[in-house]
């Protein structure tokens, strides 16, 4: 953990030098992280300059999905590891043209446990929870929901078809994290996407036209 933290701090120092923010996007497999990023790519391209680091155990499928949208993306494979490590992130970030970026988004390996415990040099963690998973996820995995600076409840278009109690889930979230904004989104209908994009732009803190 000590070595991991050292690499995380190196990455934060590098990003600070170039005035770039980095988000660590965390969620279970199938939570909708990549689909959310696809919508973000479409909406953000004229607002801020950004890049994505795609973390997976195997395959390049998710990176290829984003690359088809002309997104600057790099695939990171753990080869069996349950989370991305800070050293891997540091090396990957250095390959990006940081002076031209406002934001780097890391899509971590699908997991609500290990990624929550490992610092990768991010400025904030964002957790994605889909309505197909169950409203008690915040109670089962409190660490990530407590540390998250923003929370996304995805696939809300499926609410009429699944036994997910949205109000109860929001209560669980607020008991653990009273302050993080909660975005209720559907990539199929577009609901909630604007609010999510506005938060990303605000968090990045500047537009590509204002970057020095």
Tell me which CATH code domain 2-202 carries.
Answer: 3.40.50.300
pLDDT at 179: 96
> Rounded to whole angstroms, what are the CA distances from 189 to 115, 117, 118, 161?
29, 33, 34, 15
pLDDT at 206: 53
pLDDT at 26: 97
String of b and e for 11-22 (b: at least 16 CB within 10 Å)?
bbebbeebebbb
Q: How far apart are CA 42 and CA 68, in angstroms?
A: 11
Kindly report each contact of residues 60-65 with a partner whose C-beta sits within 8 Å and lies 24 or more positions away, as own/partner.
62/34, 62/107, 65/34, 65/38
Structural domain boundaries of the chain? 2-202
Q: Can you give the pTM of this predicted structure? A: 0.93
pLDDT at 208: 44
The H-or-E segment that residue 153 falls in is strand 150-154
pLDDT at 82: 84
pLDDT at 212: 45
DSSP state of 141: S
pLDDT at 53: 96
pLDDT at 22: 97
pLDDT at 71: 93
Residues 6+ apart with CB under 8 A from 147: 116, 125
CA 109 to chain centre: 11
**Local confidence pLDDT in tens for the 212 residues of the chain:** 689 899 999 999 999 999 999 999 999 999 999 999 999 999 987 889 999 999 988 888 999 999 999 999 999 988 878 889 999 999 999 999 999 999 999 999 999 998 999 999 999 999 999 999 999 999 999 999 999 999 999 999 999 999 999 999 999 999 999 999 999 999 999 999 999 999 999 999 854 444 44
């Amino acid at each position: 953990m000590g070595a991991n933290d050292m690499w995380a701090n190196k990455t934060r120092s590098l990003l600070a030098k170039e005035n770039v923010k980095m988000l660590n996007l965390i969620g279970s497999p199938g939570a909708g992280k990549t689909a959310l990023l696809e919508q973000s790519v479409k909406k953000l391209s004229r607002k801020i300059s950004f890049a994505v680091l795609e973390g997976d155990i195997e395959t390049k499928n998710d990176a290829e999905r984003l690359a088809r949208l002309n997104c600057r993306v790099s695939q990171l494979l753990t080869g069996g590891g349950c989370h991305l490590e800070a050293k891997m992130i540091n090396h990957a970030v250095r390959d990006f043209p940081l002076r031209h970026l406002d934001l780097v988004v890391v899509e971590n390996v699908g997991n609500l446990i290990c990624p929550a415990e490992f610092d990768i040099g991010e400025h904030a963690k964002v957790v994605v929870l889909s309505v197909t998973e169950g409203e008690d996820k915040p109670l089962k995995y409190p660490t990530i929901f407590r540390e998250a600076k923003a929370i996304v409840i995805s696939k809300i278009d499926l609410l009429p078809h699944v036994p997910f109690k949205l109000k109860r889930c929001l209560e669980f979230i607020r008991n653990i994290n009273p302050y993080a904004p909660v975005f209720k989104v559907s990539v199929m209908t577009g609901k909630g996407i604007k609010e999510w994009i506005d938060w990303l732009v605000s968090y990045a803190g500047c537009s590509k036209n204002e970057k020095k």
